[in-house]
Amino acid sequence: MTTPRAPLPSTMLPPPKPLDTSGNAWHGWKTWKSEFTLFSTATQLTKQAQDVQAATLLVVIGEEARKVYSTFTFEAGEDKNTI
């Protein structure tokens, strides 16, 4: 069963800047994740279907982080669209 899609709210809130992959990876990820969590809540992204949330994260996180993501492998039964 699929989750019904809620309409995307229009917002004037800018998304977080892309993840900085040049420095301390752990610190950069923690900071970026915190900013994305706030953005997701403020824009009601958390009310959207998981695939919409995952796609938004991948768009916002930036090209360098998407390159890293593209190297991930998922086990049988794991959903790459669950964040």
CB 16 within 8 A of CB 32: yes
Give the predicted TM-score (pTM) of the model.
0.79
Look at residue 31 and tell me if it is in a domain.
Answer: no
Look at residue 66 and tell me if it is in a domain.
Answer: yes
**pLDDT tens readout for residues 18-53:** 999 898 999 999 999 999 999 999 999 999 999 999
Domain coverage including residue 60: 47-71
Number of neighbours of residue 36 by Cβ within 10 angstroms: 19
Q: How confident is the model at residue 75 (pLDDT cuts 50, 70, 90)?
A: confident
Q: How many domains does the chain have?
A: 1
* Cα–Cα separations (whole angstroms), residue 24 to 1, 19, 28, 78: 41, 11, 6, 28
**pLDDT tens readout for residues 56-74:** 999 999 999 999 999 988 8
